[in-house]
Structure 1
């Protein structure tokens, strides 16, 4: 008898897809908005992104379990929309893989004593094998990594949490009066931090049931939200807002954040635990994003689910970002700047349009449906358009920017 996959495993896959990008990007993106407005922005984003994932599930219910974004979007919204959507899905997925491969290479070169290029190649060969093998293998390693992250998080963040200064956490020590305007520039980063949508079809195929996939998605986004809250409380409660200047200057990268934290926390154990946590976050996201892109490309190129077919899918999923990482190690810093706007297309706008189209079909109101009716469809599209607009405005320096 076939064993049913657990909801914990699926939730961990979704959480691990979200957490890597979010943990590394949210503290510097939220430094202007600071604690209260950052929490509000992340909570609203989590609700919208969970519902938009459910909207994808609603559209997928009309198709067999092996389909993904490509087939459904092409069928429901036409070739032109599908081509645009495919470009944005692959762009964001590819850029994230590129970023994770480069970051892990830089962290591992010190650990295993080889050049960052060799470390990147070894990282891809070892950890992409889980994706090539099966979704169940990704489930297993995701549960281990989330547990590992929670343990290192507990040791690292509890060390920070014990020292949280309420004056620092709520910025009563500075004369700043306005935080809300900075939340606009934070929204695109918050949206990318819940960008698990290329894994929705993987979840549906894994469970063979939209309702179970729905709870795995909700569990995953809830775990991510809880970890983000704890992380921001711990960072913002220790590192004064005025100390974020050097971190923002270096593009918010995790090394700069750890260096800044090192100046306000004494314990080396805490610093090491947070470093370990960062590596686990990158690794879990690499595997989670890799699985989503893998299933998406298998559907796009119609590769079979055989060892040979999966090998072809592995090549088109992992080799291009690895080559980019070896040739242009820091190109992703520029490219990731565009990822937020591209992610709004496939994480908000397309899912809402697919749900609307699904409801015009003869069997549209049968089986699984996302909540909120047509008003929710409009709200999700509006959130996506607004976030993309803020992202473009931010790129052209048209929004208030916090520089520390």
Structure 2
């Protein structure tokens, strides 16, 4: 695919549409802040609070800039061009096949993870109301609803995500406002455990942090939505990721300030799924209201991430498979997007934590390493006429280093060569 001729300003069509930057930021923030955040206190409990804050800020910085590097390269191609088009043209067919497999693996894995998470959350919520529904049925029913919204259009996803994300923010502060009032300094700073062994658990957290800042599949979707308008798309990425970082830090403060470090071992041994963590927080606070708000928040958290991740997968598959944007073409794309992970969700409904972890390995390639290589190749060929990420070659090197160290950490973890707090 050849690069199209470039304009120095947004296209008239983009100006006519004039979509909201807030809506774009909600897509990014909603994609990031979802079910994955519930895995963070569990996998980062060994590192504990101070270390978790440092690692989350570093992961945010690197993943934000890798997303901006995708934007830099994507602006040299037509609106709607996805990773497949850009990677094939800049890095060659072989790298594109490898990268394409990693994209499909990550987005399908995350979609499966959110099917598993939504089933768990819906089951727990309805159970608290005296209604019995299996996690399988809850997850599959919710997936059908998400598939319908994604099938409609990117605008429908944007509007729905804005509404759901707004409700999620409200639920977040109502929920964690109550949790903040119960934070115990001795628990938060781990004063009673008598241990100073935290940093050995650093490497195991990196792949989960990378996955928890996963929004990169939505960058081509935003260009399709906004047109070639780097300032507005950059504002969406910056705003959405900063919201996510802030919410993550508050979440770590609330969870680690209310549950002792030693207690996270039991949570991990029980699978670390969302309902287990919610039950642990509810039992610590002994508050029916807080438990209800946690359920309310977790439902919206899963919905936001589910919409954002599947939108990225939908647009990628439409580009790769050549399906058009008419209703029947979108129906074919929706079937390719949702049916495989729905089958996995039906067969293995309890795979949330494992799925998030495996997604972190492949995400290092397409969400961090490939964007850095794309930015370097794009600058050599096009000279970045519309937008260039600051920092030059050192920034590319930093992003590459982050990707490589995450991949190594995940491999060592799967070989049982890293210490894990459990």
Alignment of 1:185-334 (within 5 A): 185-208=204-227, 209-331=229-351, 333-334=353-354
Deviation at 1:308, TM superposition (A): 1.2
- Equivalence for 2:12: none
Aligned residues: 402
* TM norm structure 1: 0.96
Contact 1:11–1:219, Cα closer than 8 Å, also in 2: yes
Compute the displacement of 1:119 (Å): 2.9
Question: CA 1:187–1:312 in structure 2 vs 1: closer, same or farther (change >3 Å)?
Answer: same
Contact 2:211 2:356 in 1 (8 A): no
Structure 1 stretch 5-14 or stretch 323-332: which is displaced more?
Answer: 323-332
Alignment partners' CA distance in 1, 2:94 and 2:235: 32
Is 198-207 or 244-253 further displaced after alignment? 244-253
Q: Secondary structure at the match of 1:360?
A: helix
Q: Does 1:94 align with 2:108?
A: yes
Q: Hey, what's the Cα distance between the residues in 2 that align with 1:294 and 1:228?
A: 27
1:72-111 → structure 2 map (5 Å cutoff): 72-109=86-123, 111=126
Residues 304 and 310, structure 1, Cα contact 8 Å, conserved in 2: yes
CA deviation vs aligned residue, 1:213-269 (integer Å, no higher than 9, x gap):
111011111011011011110111111111111111123211221222123112110
Q: TM-score, normalization: structure 2?
A: 0.92
**2:134 matches 1:120:** no
C-alpha displacement of 1:2: 3.1
Q: Any idea what SS the aligned residue of 1:263 has?
A: helix
1:147 matches 2:166: yes
Contact 2:36–2:356 (CA under 8 A) maintained in structure 1: no
> 3-state SS of the aligned residue for 1:2?
helix
Cα RMSD after superposing both structures: 1.6
Matched with 2:4 is none
For residues 211 and 65 of structure 1, the distance between their equivalents in structure 2, rounded to whole angstroms, comes to 16
How far did residue 333 of structure 1 move? 4.8
For the residues of structure 2 that align with 1:354 and 1:65, how far apart are their CA atoms?
A: 17
Q: Which runs of 5+ in 1 are unaligned?
A: none
Q: Which residue of 42, 45, 51 corresponds with 1:37?
A: 51
Superposition misfits of 4+ residues, deviation over 6 angstroms = none
